Amino acid sequence: METFFIKVLQLLLSLTILVVIHELGHFAFARLFKVRVEKFYMFFNPWLTLFKIPSRQNYEGGRALIQTRPSKSDTEWGIGWLPLGGYCKISGMIDESMDTEQMKQPAQPWEFRVKPAWQRLLIITGGVLFNFLLALFIYAMVLFAWGESYYLPKDFRQGMEFGSVAQEIGFRNGDVLLSADGEELDRWPGALRQIADAREVVVERAGRLDTVYMTDDLMQRLLAEKEGFASPIFPYVIDSVLPQGPLAKAGFRQGDRITALNGQPFSSFAEYSRRISALQQEGAPRTVTLTYERGGRTDTAAVTLDEQYKGGAYPYNFTHYFPPRVETYGFFASLPAGVELGISTMQGYVNDLKYVFTKEGAGSLGGFGTIGSIFPAVWDWYSFWTMTAFLSIILAVMNILPIPALDGGHALFILYEMIFRRKPSDKFMERAQMFGMLFLLLLMFWANFNDILRFVFGVSL
């Protein structure tokens, strides 16, 4: 339960930062062009507002638990109770508030609708711009504070353990990945994009070079099978044992190398995990025999696993066997490096976005549960900030998609106006906004429904 709350807290803090920065982007450009911002809310406030500072026009933001006197600002500031986003209500604009009555009134000089198209375009895209700049800044500061640790696929000299899809294509366990279409593979696991887009991949196999010819549907097949492409091979050497856990009761301790399960040898922790999963799916007896090495001697022991077929022991991960490459950055060097990292991350995400529009990709969509699960189980500032930067890029890319109700949809209509010298009608904009909101609600429902299937029932579409 503690792990759950740590993940939730990280998710909420990250989303709060991203939403506030996004809405500040709209706010900053609106105020720059003297457009009135009627409301600025962190979190949504249907039926109830936790905290509110009314504007001098005294806009109503719902019933508030805590409310101050009206300020001298044109903006009503508030905090809602539903931590799923936030909003910035700009005067004279058809948005999620669907304030159609205001649009029937004569246009005022402080309204969005009377401003030149180029100013409206900057106001609309300001949130996306701020999210992208935030990601670049976070990446730069992460590089400055912690440096960068990474691996190239060729660093895993024991080779890779490949999933069934990769093996069907022609990869073999123990292959060392070297290049794709003549270019050395980049950092792992980002190099998977190079592999998926390549025609041929060169590997080192049993001391010689070999070529694996790729298929066009690698990513779709990986998504459909719900399995990974490959992971580095490393042995099952115990790092720590839970007190009173099954392996602890059987006498196992740190440094023991487990080499066989029920008399069948294996070479990696990944292979051990697959065999245990197979026993669990078959409903096999939970008492197993493990062969292990300790101090140059080999012995066996019977272990009764728990109801989840867990032994209560954690192995050294691959970083114990493969020291990472490390680069450090001074403050001024971190700025261009952060920009480069942010741009490459965005390019990779945009490239992966094409798989969302496949049957396999739609089945892999996730909601808040999936997003929360990628945060670590213990609080780690490095992981928190790198994940926040990545989510900021996701938020920027998703918002610029040309879907009505998103910033990209509004921008598309403004570009239409700039090209054809005429505005879409208010009635068309209202209908487009309603369609976009309905589409986004259905998409959110689908993503979170997938989460329920995965995390509650253990299945996926």
Q: Is 188 helix (H, G, I), strand (E, B) or coil?
A: coil
- Considering only residues 217 and 260, tell me which one the structure prediction assigns the higher pLDDT: 260
Separation between Cα atoms, residue 70 and residue 112, nearest integer Å = 23
Q: What is the pLDDT of residue 455?
A: 58
Q: What is the pLDDT of residue 362?
A: 59
Q: Is the pLDDT of residue 212 over 80?
A: yes
Separation between Cα atoms, residue 44 and residue 19, nearest integer Å = 11
Q: What is the pLDDT of residue 136?
A: 97
Structure token pair of residue 14? 């990250």
Tell me the per-residue pLDDT of 72-95, one tens digit each, with 9 for 90 and over.
888 989 888 887 778 888 988 876
Percent of the chain with pLDDT over 90: 44
Delimit the domains of the chain by residue range. Answer: 2-36+91-139+391-455, 153-232, 236-316
CA 71 to the chain's CA centroid: 38
Tell me the per-residue pLDDT of 307-349, one tens digit each, with 9 for 90 and over.
888 898 889 988 888 888 999 999 999 999 999 999 999 998 8
Rounded to an integer, the average pLDDT of 360-370 is 62
Q: What is the pLDDT of residue 247?
A: 93
Q: Using 50, 70 and 90 to split pLDDT, how confident is the model at 185?
A: very high
CA end-to-end distance (rounded Å), the chain: 27
Write down the H helix ranges in 234-285. 246-249, 269-282
Separation between Cα atoms, residue 403 and residue 433, nearest integer Å = 9
Architecture of the CATH domain 236-316: Roll (2.30)
Tell me the per-residue pLDDT of 20-52, one tens digit each, with 9 for 90 and over.
999 999 999 999 999 999 999 988 888 888 898
Tell me the per-residue pLDDT of 98-146, one tens digit each, with 9 for 90 and over.
566 666 778 889 899 899 999 999 999 999 999 999 999 999 999 999 9
Structure token pair of residue 100? 């159609």
Q: Are 382 and 142 in contact (CB under 8 A)?
A: yes
Q: What is the pLDDT of residue 460?
A: 55
- Considering only residues 290 and 356, tell me which one the structure prediction assigns the higher pLDDT: 290
Q: Is the pLDDT of residue 1 over 60?
A: no
Q: What is the pLDDT of residue 360?
A: 56
Identify the CA nearest to 437 among candidates 404, 391, 394.
Answer: 404
Q: What is the pLDDT of residue 224?
A: 75
Q: What is the mean pLDDT of the chain?
A: 86
Separation between Cα atoms, residue 257 and residue 391, nearest integer Å = 39
Which residues, at least 6 apart from 342, have a Cβ–Cβ distance to it below 8 Å? 132, 135, 136, 139, 389, 393
The domain over range 153-232 is classified in CATH as 2.60.120: no
Specify the pTM: 0.81
Looking at the DSSP assignment, which residues form a beta bridge with residue 90?
A: 37
